[in-house]
């Protein structure tokens, strides 16, 4: 045993996850960079840490609109 968690981290060390504005896409950005155009930081307290965790699952059906408001993603969107 190595002592490592079996959970897959959302991003690697030195990175943080960002959410696609108006969509369910995500990416990882270096800690010393701002999100690229079309992406935003997850709202505080609602950041996914591991693949399949509570917030990772939540953001599969929700997104942030251009005003920063959390909205549900339309079916098939």
- The per-residue pLDDT for range 33-68, each reduced to its tens digit, is 999 999 999 999 999 999 999 999 999 999 999 999
Asked if residues 23 and 6 have their Cβ atoms less than 8 Å apart, the reply is no
Query: What is d(CA 16, CA 69) in angstroms, rounded to the nearest whole number?
Result: 20
pLDDT at res. 27: 97
As to burial, measured by CB atoms within 10 angstroms (0-12 exposed, 13-18 middle, 19+ buried), residue 15 is middle
In this model, does residue 2 exceed pLDDT 50? no
Among the listed residues 58, 59, 19, the one whose alpha carbon sits nearest the alpha carbon of residue 41 = 19
Quote the pLDDT of residue 75.
73
Q: Give dist(CA 48, CA 26) in Å, integer.
A: 10
How far is 29 from 20, CA to CA, in rounded Å?
12
What local confidence, expressed as pLDDT, does residue 74 receive?
80
């Amino acid at each position: 045993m190595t002592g490592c968690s079996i959970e897959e981290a959302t991003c690697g060390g030195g990175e943080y996850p960002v959410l696609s504005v108006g969509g369910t896409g995500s990416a990882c950005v270096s800690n010393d960079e701002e999100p690229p155009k079309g992406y935003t930081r997850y709202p505080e307290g609602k950041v996914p840490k591991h693949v399949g965790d509570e917030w990772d699952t939540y953001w599969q059906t929700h997104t942030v609109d251009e005003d920063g408001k959390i909205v549900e993603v339309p079916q098939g969107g």
